[in-house]
Structure 1
């Protein structure tokens, strides 16, 4: 161990030599001539830079113009190629279905019901000792009844009393079809559904409804909604699809309850609301027409339920004749284009009546297009088979519609007797379309017709 008195290591090191600070340079005085020279040099440098930039920009602009011209030419060639490919592939876009079922709606009537104040139902509350507790003001009795209706107490009370007064019936009916309040409209619809069911199940003497609506009341509501009864409907190509922004464009939200109520009434034909067969036929045509309004796509389930109830409301002996009349009415009222396929497809169901109606409607539309009489199905098929699809003037889009209609007519037909002959002619028609149109046919809808016919030809053997 080193002695504490020994010198430290750094004591033997040489002292660090520090160099003396450099002498301060004397500032050079800059004169005006020097400043002027510097400015001229800088200006000259900037001018040369601008000249070089202009020359470079001209070169780049020329290159850009050449590139733009090449891109435009290339884009044009690509577009032409895509068009040719689309024509060869037959990727024709089908037009949109949809017609203007509703025009401008009228202002929904806000009817007053002064008779509610003097009704026996309201008077029974004023005579009760609990009236002070309820703080029921007879002048505001309608507000009180709205609360009872929404909470379900109105239905309970009329069921207990065994009677629905005329004032209560008309008031709730108008709320259902004309109220702008969703909760009141729906509550009134539920109320009418319940009292009609009670009346149908109970003895007439045990439950009475002093007033029942008629078909004229339902038709008047549709007129208020703007339904186009008599005027020819406009196709989707002639109208704006987005008509929801218009304040007066029908229908209002009450159409939902109208559809439901029609189903209730037709389900209970004995309820003395929809009595004549003609009225039920008119309602069936209206319900099917509503499927063509794109504003009502969200109500498809309700429409199908109502359609099913209306179809089943006819008596067995009257249904065949009514089915033909409904088909004739639809074919004469609605356009024979893509919309008629929507009509046929909307008649869904597995019941015998649904199939019969779908087949009859398809046949009626097909006969209207071919200008033939429905009474002779053979002539209709022969006319369809005689169409020369190779002819350049042949309307292949109409041929596509005819094939789709004939498919629904034959597939859902349950009444024809000469099925063997019909299927033979149908097979001939399909073979003419599948073999008569080549894969290189560039006409519009040529590929659609050929593909449709080929598919149906393969499945037609199962239909025999």
Structure 2
């Protein structure tokens, strides 16, 4: 009976527990001090965190400033190095040796129709099958030339007529058709070589081309005989700048012609001297870089064309002429380097050319020991010192002295040469950023090491 009814159990007012009243706590002085110091510590920690964050911010700014300044310094160094490389790359060898080509002479040879070789074929019984006539005689001979039968007929008969010789010579020098000029060149080389080879029957020829014909071919190719223009000279816009493709056959013919002097003298001494100058100048044309081996062989052949009693005087004259024509820049070093033979005559010519160019660099006011004294007196540490010229002087002097026997005959020159090398290698610092500073220092060190070893 005392239990509550169901609706009384569901009533939240009747079921909620009685909340006990809380007693108020008494706050003492110690509690107030504790709360005060806690709040103060929080402020101190907050200020410390703020100061630390501010310090880190300024540290990042300093790092950014340092990184920016370092990047700027690196960029400046890179720009300086780029400028130095650009200055050194601007000094490149190469000159315009050929101007505009001229119109070649006609390749038609009227006398060819009456040559005995063609007439013998026309009168042969087999001509009834091929029906050869004077109108297509040139085509028939061109076929014989390209197929190699013309040279075989020459060796079989033992002689070649003048009209055939002139015709093949003109084809070699002026024909625009590659197969004709190559075949004509091979034909002439085979005939001339037969006079030197013992196992071949010498072919009798009634006409020999002279240097005038070869010089005339160079004029048609546009070769500049009288002077070499400045390397910055602009080419014409005519589209006919030399050299012609026939220059390869021209070089081969000169090489073979000089080989056979003992049996067939085709050039005078003055002609051969001018040929040496021409070939040296051809080394300056960058268009002929693919013919370097042919030019080297031709150079050696022409140098050996002279007799011993002719060579000494001709060597000096060639050197003087070349020194007057070449500019005093890296092209003159190219001239000296192209005379690269190790034989006695090549060394003599290389030494003579280098010496004459050195004299022209100093306007012929000093000579021999005075050149070395003047070079030693140059202060390479000065900012105004032209290290490009110093590099040219260094290479020219080395070729002048070391390609000759002067160092062995004159010990004084050897001592002065070593002193000059020490000046160039020791007085130029490795951190010197002037154009050609490293080239002068490294080249002098290389020469000095070789001089000490010898």
- Offset at 1:246? 6.4
> Residues 215 and 273 of structure 1 are in contact (CA less than 8 Å); yes or no, is this contact kept in structure 2?
no
> Residues 376 and 419 of structure 2 are in contact (CA less than 8 Å); yes or no, is this contact kept in structure 1?
yes
Matched, 1:352 2:348: no
Partner Cα separation in structure 1 for residue 424 and residue 82 of structure 2? 20
Look up the SS of the partner of 2:416 in the other structure. Answer: helix
Residue number in structure 2 paired with 1:38: none
Matched, 1:139 2:135: yes
Residue number in structure 2 paired with 1:102: 98
2:387 to 396, 406, 411: 396
Partner Cα separation in structure 2 for residue 227 and residue 127 of structure 1? 45
Residue number in structure 1 paired with 2:183: 187
> Residues 327 and 357 of structure 1 are in contact (CA less than 8 Å); yes or no, is this contact kept in structure 2?
yes
Look up the SS of the partner of 1:136 in the other structure. Answer: coil
- Offset at 1:271? 5.6
Q: Deviations over 1:160-190 (max 9, x none)?
A: 2222111000000000000001010010001
Residue number in structure 1 paired with 2:116: 120
Residue number in structure 2 paired with 1:451: 442
> Residues 191 and 202 of structure 2 are in contact (CA less than 8 Å); yes or no, is this contact kept in structure 1?
no
Matched, 1:424 2:390: no
CA gap of 1:416–1:167, structure 2 versus 1, over 3 A, is farther
Partner Cα separation in structure 2 for residue 373 and residue 446 of structure 1? 27
Matched, 1:366 2:358: yes
Partner Cα separation in structure 2 for residue 188 and residue 261 of structure 1? 10
Residue number in structure 1 paired with 2:428: 437
> Residues 209 and 266 of structure 2 are in contact (CA less than 8 Å); yes or no, is this contact kept in structure 1?
no
Partner Cα separation in structure 2 for residue 210 and residue 88 of structure 1? 61
Larger Rg: 2
CA gap of 1:448–1:354, structure 2 versus 1, over 3 A, is same
Partner Cα separation in structure 2 for residue 310 and residue 150 of structure 1? 29
> Residues 90 and 448 of structure 1 are in contact (CA less than 8 Å); yes or no, is this contact kept in structure 2?
no
Q: After the TM superposition, which residues 247-266 of structure 1 pair with which residues of structure 2 at under 5 Å, given as runs?
A: 247-266=239-258
1:413 to 388, 404, 413: 404
Q: After the TM superposition, which residues 324-339 of structure 1 pair with which residues of structure 2 at under 5 Å, given as runs?
A: 324-339=316-331
Q: Deviations over 1:252-296 (max 9, x none)?
A: 110000011111111122565533100000001101110100000
- Offset at 1:88? 9.2
- Which ranges in structure 2 are unaligned for 5 or more consecutive residues? 1-67
- Which ranges in structure 1 are unaligned for 5 or more consecutive residues? 1-71
Partner Cα separation in structure 1 for residue 433 and residue 343 of structure 2? 42
Residue number in structure 2 paired with 1:292: 284
> Residues 265 and 271 of structure 1 are in contact (CA less than 8 Å); yes or no, is this contact kept in structure 2?
no
Partner Cα separation in structure 2 for residue 182 and residue 90 of structure 1? 40
Partner Cα separation in structure 2 for residue 185 and residue 86 of structure 1? 47
Q: After the TM superposition, which residues 23-34 of structure 1 pair with which residues of structure 2 at under 5 Å, given as runs?
A: none
Matched, 1:343 2:339: no
> Residues 96 and 228 of structure 2 are in contact (CA less than 8 Å); yes or no, is this contact kept in structure 1?
no
Partner Cα separation in structure 2 for residue 382 and residue 454 of structure 1? 19
Look up the SS of the partner of 1:150 in the other structure. Answer: helix
Partner Cα separation in structure 1 for residue 250 and residue 81 of structure 2? 49
- Offset at 1:318? 1.3
Counting matched residue pairs gives 387
Residue number in structure 2 paired with 1:157: 153
> Residues 227 and 325 of structure 2 are in contact (CA less than 8 Å); yes or no, is this contact kept in structure 1?
no
> Residues 84 and 435 of structure 2 are in contact (CA less than 8 Å); yes or no, is this contact kept in structure 1?
no
CA gap of 1:262–1:168, structure 2 versus 1, over 3 A, is same
Partner Cα separation in structure 2 for residue 271 and residue 217 of structure 1? 20
2:260 to 265, 268, 271: 268
RMSD (Å) for aligned C-alpha atoms: 2.8
- Offset at 1:89? 9.9
Residue number in structure 1 paired with 2:226: 230
> Residues 385 and 428 of structure 1 are in contact (CA less than 8 Å); yes or no, is this contact kept in structure 2?
yes
Partner Cα separation in structure 2 for residue 125 and residue 88 of structure 1? 71
Q: Deviations over 1:304-336 (max 9, x none)?
A: 111111111111111121111111111111112
Partner Cα separation in structure 2 for residue 89 and residue 172 of structure 1? 51
Normalised to the residue count of structure 1, the TM-score between the two structures is 0.77
> Residues 372 and 379 of structure 1 are in contact (CA less than 8 Å); yes or no, is this contact kept in structure 2?
no
- Offset at 1:219? 0.3
- Offset at 1:377? 1.7
Partner Cα separation in structure 1 for residue 250 and residue 177 of structure 2? 15
Partner Cα separation in structure 1 for residue 81 and residue 194 of structure 2? 64
CA gap of 1:418–1:378, structure 2 versus 1, over 3 A, is farther
Is the deviation greater in 101-110 or in 443-452? 443-452
> Residues 86 and 92 of structure 1 are in contact (CA less than 8 Å); yes or no, is this contact kept in structure 2?
no
2:304 to 287, 309, 312: 312
2:270 to 275, 278, 297: 278
Is the deviation greater in 245-254 or in 112-121? 245-254
CA gap of 1:442–1:171, structure 2 versus 1, over 3 A, is same
